[in-house]
């Protein structure tokens, strides 16, 4: 079934022009996050890219799951880094979202990569440290996806720096979460962010949405050669604001609904 669904969306189309609509942990508003169900639904809903969270297991495999432990979504408390792939794939990662998703399994990176159609992209968020890099590179190279289809993102400066040292031609963005309680946080943090991006050789910055982020901030990043990406945006009015600022991608829990709303006002290229 997975292979059939993937083939339906593999339409040899060119990569869409920016801004991209990126499905946050897949179409996570409608399906259990970080599962093949959510990723396949994201393609069906017209996402340009999917975003998922990845950890290294005890036996050197990479799995797609947000938290460091599994208790919140599965009810069973396993630490991913101390568990084997076989142990993790006994867990039910879907019932929390509804009985229709019962017995949904935690996917491997290889399974997620295999689901990315031609002309689409994947944002791989590394949730652990640089120890994941050898297995990550091996899985991506075996997947057959092009470098243009791969974007690696991480909050960990060490991961970004180490990966750019090994594969400078890959797109690797650093993540930062602004403090929404402080209206001046973007102004205060921008010099530090620019310095860190340059130090670790990142291609760009992905940040949380902040009401006081503006075009001047995005222009300052662009002037230094850095892309800007935003997460997690579900409201069309906020998405339009970031598009006008020059944002390169918008990560959302509802890729279909957001795209439909934006296309009423903003012309996106056809696939």
In which element (H, E) is residue 145 found?
none
Two tokens at 4?
A: 């059939």
What is the rounded CA–CA span in Å between residue 270 and residue 268?
6
Q: 205 pairs with which residues across the strands?
A: 174, 228
Q: Is 24 a catalytic residue?
A: yes
**Cα angle 34, 136, 44; round to 5:** 35
Q: Is 66 a catalytic residue?
A: yes
What is the rounded CA–CA span in Å between residue 248 and residue 228?
6
What is the rounded CA–CA span in Å between residue 9 and residue 250?
21
- Reply yes or no: is the peptide bond before residue 19 cis, omega within 30 of 0: yes
Out of 24, 55, 210, 217, the active site residue is 24
Active site residues: 24, 66
């Amino acid at each position: 079934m997975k292979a059939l669904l993937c083939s339906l969306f593999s339409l040899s189309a060119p990569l869409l022009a920016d801004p991209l609509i990126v499905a946050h942990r897949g179409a996570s508003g409608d399906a259990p996050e970080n599962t093949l169900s959510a990723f396949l639904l994201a393609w069906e809903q017209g996402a340009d890219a999917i975003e998922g969270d990845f950890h290294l297991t005890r036996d050197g495999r990479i799995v797609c799951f947000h938290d460091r432990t599994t208790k919140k979504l599965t009810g069973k408390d396993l630490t991913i880094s101390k568990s084997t792939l076989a142990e993790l794939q006994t867990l039910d990662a879907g019932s929390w979202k509804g009985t229709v998703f019962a017995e949904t399994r935690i996917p491997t990176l290889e399974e997620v990569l295999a689901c990315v159609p031609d002309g689409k992209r994947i944002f791989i968020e590394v949730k652990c440290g640089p120890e994941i890099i050898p297995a990550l590179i091996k899985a991506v190279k075996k997947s057959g996806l092009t470098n243009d289809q791969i974007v690696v993102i991480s909050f960990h400066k060490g991961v970004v720096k180490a990966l750019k040292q090994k594969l400078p031609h890959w797109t690797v963005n650093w993540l930062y979460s602004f403090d929404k309680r402080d209206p001046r946080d973007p102004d205060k943090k921008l010099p530090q962010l620019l310095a860190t991006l340059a130090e670790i050789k990142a291609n760009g910055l992905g940040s949380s949405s902040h009401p006081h982020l503006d075009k001047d901030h995005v222009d300052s990043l662009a002037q230094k050669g850095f892309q800007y990406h935003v997460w997690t945006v579900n409201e069309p009015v906020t998405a339009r604001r970031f598009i006008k600022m020059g944002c390169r991608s918008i990560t959302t829990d509802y890729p279909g609904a957001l795209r439909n709303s934006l296309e009423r006002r903003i012309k996106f290229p056809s696939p």
